[in-house]
Amino acid sequence: MIKKILIANRSEIACRIIRACKEMGIRTVAIYSEVDSDALHVLSADESICIGPAPALQSYLNQEAVLNAAISTGCDAIHPGYGFLAENSEFNRKVRDAGLIFIGPDPESMELLGSKVASRQLMIKSGVPVIPGMKTSSMNIEDFEKTANEMGFPVLIKASAGGGGKGMRVVHQKEKLKEAVESAMRESKSAFGSEEVYLEKYIESPRHVEFQIAADHHGNVIYLFERECSIQRRHQKIIEEAPSPIMDPDLQKRMGETAIKVAKAANYDSVGTVEFLVDKNKNFYFLEVNARIQVEHPVTEMTTGIDLVKLQIAIANDEKIPFNQEELKQNGHAIECRIYAEDADNKFMPSSGNILFLKEPTGPGVRYDCGIYQGSKVSVFYDPVLAKLIVWGKDREEARQRMIIALKQNIILGVKTSIRFMINCLEHPEFIKGNTFTNFIENNMSEKISRSEFIINASLTTATLMSQNQKKLDKVVTEGNSIMPTPWQTIGKWEICSTN
């Protein structure tokens, strides 16, 4: 029976896992690096322990330090969250060899699913639709030319060892193939330490639709429907939603049953996600499995009513999944926006500083998974996620409207954020029509300076004034209205920018 869990992560996901543990009566231990000693996840846990200096490799990625922290605080289990060590099969194995529970799939399944070529071969053998292409990677150009000529151009070259678009090359004509293969090999070698690449048929303007699955230690495997995650920037998801705008009951059943087939083929035994590419004719193809809880899991929770972190911990506790496929229903529509400390007007450069002012959004259907508080330090050492804003509505339009209102309510001063950029996405006619393909941002959201730069600078000015000298602010507010353009209004001593 799991009584105490060490959360091997930080920020919003650590806070989210701690919340699930509290609901289950499980004690929690937070880990923190020297710059995170006052972080919200540390303040939220029952206990906490410093595991090293700021750089992730010396702290959150330091396997020995994390494992020793769990042992020294008497934990039964480690929850890795996402990122960091979440899909590291070596760490997974070390935790189990030390007699602790790793809250996730077993190491063998994680290892198999971590190799693109191995999982692709397993899926072909299991009758799961994969993108047409080479069966294995190759080092000689003749194999690439032969497959490309058989399938026809355009084709896509991919790195076997990694994802996230690194080492990917689209090739539209034969003459460019050799040079593209060699360049992909070089990039893959530097990014993943392996120059193994392979070739697939290129699917034009695909959608990224992923299915949430859960499998327990007693042979039960279910799907908890899909998430549409096509709005990405440089392979980083920006906005996710459930259900997908293109989904229909027949396609959903076929994709869900295929996701279960994938989980069974890989002997998967935790919560996880099966990623698919869907083309314009609604053909779907296996992409990969994410063997962890994902950033975007709340949109599934908000439309099914299932707490996926509690389910993941229950499965790790050898419990059976407490419901069957027929009992699961999708209700309404949920959208998630990731609130990043990034400068959307300056190529999304990370923004660091102190949170001078924070107003969390509220309202019907609004959930805010937050990793900061007013006064938090936002450092440059880690992923710049500050919070996730998830909104539920009875249908997609109500969820979209509520999300826009909630984003405008979410005031964060002290760092630049991507809030204005997301409002622009959600207000775009193509988003409203549900035309959310993987090229949505490059086609619709040119990286020109938006209004947000002025709003953010003015917010920073206000915040700085507030934090320095209230009297000075009174004077500015009295006299300053003439310098604030109309969108600004003063409510008492607070200037709130109405961004509509």
- Give the type of residue at 298: P
CA neighbor of 234 nearest in space, from 445, 55, 56, 13: 445
- CB nearer ligand MV4, residue 288 or residue 345: 288
Q: What does residue 130 show for φ and ψ, rounded to 5 degrees?
A: -115, 165
- CB nearer ligand MV4, residue 130 or residue 260: 130
| Interface contacts to ligand MV4, rule CB under 6 A | 131, 156, 163, 165, 200-203, 206, 208, 230, 232, 235, 277, 287, 438
292 flagged as catalytic: yes
DSSP 58-102: GTTT-HHHHHHHHHHTT-SEEE--SSTTTT-HHHHHHHHHTTPEE
C-alpha to C-alpha distance for 321 and 310, rounded to whole angstroms = 11
Kind of pairing, strands 271-278 and 236-242? unpaired
CB of 242 to ligand MV4, least distance (A): 16
- CB nearer ligand MV4, residue 227 or residue 416: 227
- Give the type of residue at 472: K
CB of 289 to ligand MV4, least distance (A): 12
The DSSP call for residue 103 is S
Provide the angle, in degrees to the nearest 10, between the axes of the packed helices 116-125 and 107-114.
Answer: 100
- CB nearer ligand MV4, residue 14 or residue 229: 229
Q: Is 228 helix (H, G, I), strand (E, B) or coil?
A: strand
H or E stretch covering 288: strand 284-290
Q: Which of 10, 120, 292, 396 is catalytic?
A: 292
Q: Are 184 and 159 in contact (CB under 8 A)?
A: yes
CB of 283 to ligand MV4, least distance (A): 12
C-alpha to C-alpha distance for 264 and 260, rounded to whole angstroms = 6
Q: Are 391 and 365 in contact (CB under 8 A)?
A: yes
C-alpha to C-alpha distance for 133 and 252, rounded to whole angstroms = 25
- CB nearer ligand MV4, residue 277 or residue 386: 277
Q: Which residues pair with 496 in a beta bridge?
A: 489
- CB nearer ligand MV4, residue 132 or residue 353: 132
- Give the type of residue at 354: N
Q: Are 241 and 335 in contact (CB under 8 A)?
A: yes
| Neighbouring residues of 391: CB distance < 8 A, sequence distance ≥ 6 | 334, 335, 365, 366, 367, 399, 402, 403, 406
CB of 435 to ligand MV4, least distance (A): 15
Residue 118, phi-psi category: left (phi > 0), alpha (psi -120 to 50), beta (remainder):
alpha
- CB nearer ligand MV4, residue 103 or residue 185: 185
169 CB-contact burial (10 Å; exposed 0-12 / middle 13-18 / buried 19+): buried
- CB nearer ligand MV4, residue 67 or residue 113: 113
Annotated active-site positions, please? 292
